[in-house]
Amino acid sequence: MYLAIIGFAMVAVIVALLLKGKMSPIVVLITIPTIAALLAGFGISDIGKFIVDGVKTTQNNAVLFIFSITYFGIMTDVGLFDILVGKLVKKAGNNVIAITVVTAIIAIMAHLDGSTACTVLITIPSMYPIYKRMNIRPYVLLLLTASAMGVMNLLPWGGPTARAATVLGMDANDLWLKLIPIQIVGVVVTLTLAVIMGIIEKKRGAGLNAGSSDTVETAAAAEADKKAEELKRPKLLWFNGLLTIGIIVSLVLNVVSSYVVFMMGTCIALIVNYPSLKAQDARFKAHAASALSIATTMLAAGAMVGVMEGTDMLSAMANVLISFIPEALGQYIHVIFGIFALPMGMMIGTDAYFYGIMPLIIEVGTKYGVTALNTAMTMIIGKNVALMISPLVPATFLAIGLVDVELKDHIRFSFKWLFGISLVMLLAGFLLGVIQL
């Protein structure tokens, strides 16, 4: 019982500190479990072994993050997505439904790199002037970006999949391969939502009295930063496109470990696009901050999971919870948390959800015969779509700032649609046999 009390206190402190944002997740995820283990009576040498064992389960995913983020950062630098976005916007023209569908497609493509900020900065500035001209509400732009981002974040280098894989102690690519059918359903649902929103906006009068585009904003958007322009490689669009397709195909076929694919892809991209040592170093340094911050957090999470498992805290905590759960509901605990994953994830944030709540629910589910993989996949589906309506995600404020919308209005408009998408994806998971009841 003493071990369980320490475990619950540890989780509460971790969640509280992550929510307050007063301390780095890396510091929280290493320091608090270490203190908890000391209070439980374990020595430094034991704790060190627990941490080593935990980090071993996450190091592959950490390397994956470093090289995947660097790779897609380079693809953004060379202008791969800019050209595709430009062509799609031109094709949409003045058709309201086409505009909403193109918005979803751009957001889906933009989130290939797994970066929320990049997705927002690619999608919203390129589409917002058109939305204003066509009198389409900005809430629709935010909703479609959020939906596409949530669905695409299931990729192995996306935060939720990598975090869930860390908790499970498995390769993120192996987890993603199981989630692909659900991700395909999510893409279809997002495009369907885009059509529905286009119809709704058309009925509200969008496009009937389209105003002239804001010349000041258009000029500002068209005025490219000189340094950014120097990095673009329009003549190598074909090569970069084929390289990216080749990488995704290799991941799907699971030819080699996912981090190896991105290590090779990053090197090839640098050699072809930026042959000089100076240029290659500059690209690595440009993307180092985002790549390393996520990778180091993942390693820290491995340390936390190692301590929780090595000390048997998880088992002790799970046994206490089981004593309060009605026997009839025990085997459905993953379903319950899957249904409420979106509002829960929205309120407590990504790290607290995956590193604080998920390990505990997995352990409880195991006691009732629900596999860890089953619980994790159920919990990840609903949580994913909450990404851009959570006040704990910086990209949410970036997005609403770009269209000058209040957070409460964005949440009020988008919540019901995104909650619906999470439930549809969860249902699809059960119907397709990806997750079991």
| pLDDT, tens digit, 9 for 90 and up, residues 353-396 | 787 778 888 888 888 888 889 988 898 887 878 778 876 666 77
Residue % of the chain over a pLDDT of 90: 19
The span from the CA of 277 to the CA of 271, in Å, is 9
State the DSSP string of 178-244.
HHHHHHHHHHHHHHHHHHHHHHHHHHTTTTTTPPPP-HHHHHHHHS--HHHHHH--GGGHHHHHHHH
Nearest to 273 by CA among 114, 115, 75, 109: 75
Cα distances (angstroms) measured from residue 17 to each of 296, 350, 420: 18, 13, 30
| Of 63 and 216, the one with more pLDDT | 63
Nearest to 360 by CA among 24, 2, 14: 14
Query: Which of 230-234, 277-281, 319-323 bottoms out in mean pLDDT, i.e. has the lowest?
Result: 319-323
Task: Report the pLDDT averaged over residues 343-354.
Answer: 73
pLDDT at 224: 47
The span from the CA of 346 to the CA of 40, in Å, is 32
* Cα 358 versus chain centre, distance: 16
pLDDT at 25: 78
Give residue limits of the domains in the chain.
2-323
pLDDT at 187: 93
Q: Please check the confidence at residue 209 and state whether its pLDDT lies above 70.
A: no
| Of 139 and 126, the one with more pLDDT | 139
Q: Tell me: the pLDDT tens digits for 399-418?
A: 887 788 887 888 889 989 99
The span from the CA of 277 to the CA of 282, in Å, is 9
Query: Which of 106-110, 134-138, 287-291 bottoms out in mean pLDDT, i.e. has the lowest?
Result: 287-291
78-81 long-range Cβ contacts below 8 angstroms, 24+ apart: 78/231, 78/232, 78/233, 78/236, 78/240, 78/269, 78/273, 79/231, 79/232, 79/233, 79/234, 79/237, 80/237, 80/240, 80/241, 80/244, 81/109, 81/110, 81/122
**Sign of CA pseudo-dihedral 78, 86, 226, 115:** negative
**Radius of gyration (C-alpha) of the chain in whole angstroms:** 22
The span from the CA of 326 to the CA of 310, in Å, is 28
pLDDT at 69: 77
* CB contact at 8 A, 150 and 45: no
Q: Please check the confidence at residue 221 and state whether its pLDDT lies above 60.
A: no
Q: Please check the confidence at residue 240 and state whether its pLDDT lies above 50.
A: yes
Q: Say if residue 326 is exposed, middle or buried (CB neighbours under 10 Å; 0-12, 13-18, 19+).
A: exposed
pLDDT at 216: 42
Cα distances (angstroms) measured from residue 123 to each of 6, 111, 148, 220, 304: 45, 10, 11, 16, 36
SS3 408: helix
Within 10 A of 33 (CB to CB), how many other CB atoms are there? 31
pLDDT at 208: 67
The span from the CA of 37 to the CA of 390, in Å, is 32
* CB contact at 8 A, 434 and 427: no
